[in-house]
Amino acid sequence: MIPDRPFVPTISSREKAPRLGVTVVTELVDAIVRGALPSGTTLPPESVLCEQFAVSRTVIRESVKRLEEKGLVTVAQGRGTQVAPMASWKMVDETVLAALVANDASLGTLDDLSVVRAALEAVIARDAATSPSPEDIERLREALELMRDTINDQTAFGQADVVFHAIVGQMASNRLADSIVKTLFAQALASARYSLRSQLEITLGEHEAVFDAIAAGDPDAAERAMRAHILDAWQRRRPPRADEPVSEL
């Protein structure tokens, strides 16, 4: 009797394509964002891209579709695939936003990100303070206590900080705002230029003000406290510009 041959699932060969596609998309997005492929230029032919990335035409075509979905390119019959102007880019797309942050030497993208995040988180905090449940307030209190307990451990404090903001987001009913904030916050945290610095006592005090306003059911105060915290925290984190003196604080 001939023994059965081991079963090899065909999906294993297909699983490679998505990973390859992610690499191609990420590198092309980066090239477009940093200006290696300026607006109005045409992407190289499929054959050239296939050779450059060592992938099939199918992977290249799928990758171009992803770029089109992100607003980075336009595909027109007879004109090829052209890089679109920045005005059409989907800035909140994770891959696009990551490339913008990584390639922005002036920190203008992180400046803009912080302003948008402050506006949205202020709305979220206001929403959370409208009718907070005792259970939610207790969860938020525990997150704040964790921040107090880790004040001498910068890494643990930063993790507790993230938990605090996540709970405020869960307390709010505006799921869209919370989702956008999570994307913005994740990209900011991924940037080394957004790293948490000293003055954790100030950061803790700002979170205490947010907590007090939410626990008191004061939407106006919660909105003000959260907006001020986000904007002030970024100014403490932000590296000085080349023409600015370095603070001794």
pLDDT, tens digit (0-9, with 9 covering 90-100), for 24-42: 999 999 999 999 999 999 9
CATH of 11-87, one of 1.10.150.120, 3.30.1360.30, 2.102.10.10, 1.10.10.10: 1.10.10.10
The residue-averaged pLDDT of 217-234 equals 96
Where is average pLDDT lowest: 148-152, 164-168, 193-197?
Answer: 193-197
Q: Read off the pLDDT band of 104 (50, 70, 90).
A: confident
- What integer best gives the mean pLDDT of the chain? 87
Residue 238: pLDDT above 90? no
Residue 211: pLDDT above 90? yes
Domain 104-237 has CATH 2.30.42.10: no
- Start-end ranges of CATH 1.10.10.10 in the chain? 11-87
pLDDT for 221:
98
Full-model pTM? 0.78
pLDDT for 41:
94
Q: Which residues pair with 73 in a beta bridge?
A: 83
Q: Read off the pLDDT band of 125 (50, 70, 90).
A: very high
pLDDT for 14:
39
